[in-house]
Structure 1
Amino acid sequence: MSICTPPVSHAPLAVACLGHNLNVLCEKPLALTRADALRMLRAAARVGRHLLLATKFRHVPDVVRARELITQGEIGEPVAFEIDFSSKVDMSERWNSRRALAGGGVVIEDSATILVSASRGLVGRIDLSWSLNTGRESFVTVYGSGGTIEVGWRGSQLRQAGRPPVAIGTGYDKAEAHRRMLASFQALVAGDAPPWISAGECLRTVAAVEAAYVSLRSGSWVQVDMRRARERRPAFEASA
């Protein structure tokens, strides 16, 4: 079952589908609150079915290749990252600009900048906007002690000191990313492939958005407690 409805309905629909022993692929965000996300994940665990977040960018070949190169140490130790999803779009008549249906996120706030400080010294900046067009060619840039990886809309490259840039991909194809994600979900249900995102990671996506809003209201850094995700991952702080 693929849930592509407004986020406010994700939790009740997913729990109902799981109650009928259906595997569920759910659009982003998984839920409006961490409590609802936990309820969904526990429902999946209770019946032994899959509940996955529809993270299509994990199926973009350029993103997959960039992750491989970082894991292989091609840019050394990652020290900083930048994410930029900015485009001028009229959201005035769209349902996903209504907080009651969509919850939070950039579609509600118009523009947002989130600063991240993770363990081991990693820092990051996330820029999101429906009212600004920054014109940047890359939507993800990762800086390392020995190089930089830029993942872009029309191409991606690896940069290392003293060497010419090396192309590592041809860019982003939205339709192809969706096709790859759906094929992966079918393979998962058939038992031929592992899940591309864990329950803990699904929960962290909701926790990160919640932390950004708490930071916005308090005007201070907010630590995101990842221990409930039951995975050993670095803790991080967020500020919006």
Structure 2
Amino acid sequence: MLLPGSGSDEVFVRAALEAPLRAIGLTVHAPPVRSGPAVVDGYLHALDEAAAIGGPLLVGGISLGAQVAARWAARRTDGVLAGLLLALPAWIGPPGEAPAAVAALVTAAAVRRDGLGETLASTRESTPRWLGDELARAWHRHGPGLADSLDTAAATPGPSAPELAGLRVPVALVGLRDDPVHPLPVAREWARLAPRSALVTTTLTAFGRDRATLGRALALAWLRAATQSEEAEKDSAERTVLREH
């Protein structure tokens, strides 16, 4: 179960992640976005529904989707969770002045003040063409609920440091080295805190040339995190056997 970022949608999740994750044997399900103030509640409902079906379950997402999934996972105690796939985390705990939160608030205010068309035109002037095209497609799909979706995203806490430190499943992380909206130090801090994590980095430039770049990086991070976890469990089991003898 993989969730989109703020102002994005399941179409983008599938374009960026589906093929590379399928190549390593993972099936991607990305639920439709519930645009408006209930956008995060929609994410949580989708996660709860997936968990009710039973595990093992991998959850995650991009940006806001990664934040919501990580916080949800940190509160699960039923053993249904098998791991996390997290791309472009934007903050830890309260959003505060995090660049992604500020950008969402500024965009929401512009949409209400100037309308979607003018906001898109202005955004295109300061973003790469591919990103402008993607935002235009996704924002039109959000429709009248876009501004409320962005405001809700900007006010949504990410996982706290203790929640990340308490994760006991493999955690795959991807950060971009040249993305000011999702600073790489945030991804590095998530990786430092999560005890069974692996971080792979790429660039926004490469991502722009080929959306699947993000999925390939996430697939590699998952393979590393899962392998490290298996080796750690094997080592722990071997130490237990030695103590017993």
- Both proteins in one fold, TM over 0.5: no
TM-score normalised per structure 2: 0.30
Structure showing the higher helix proportion among its residues = 2
Decide which structure has greater strand share. Answer: 1
Tell me: higher relative CO, structure 1 or 2? Use CA pairs within 8 A at least 6 residues apart.
Answer: 2
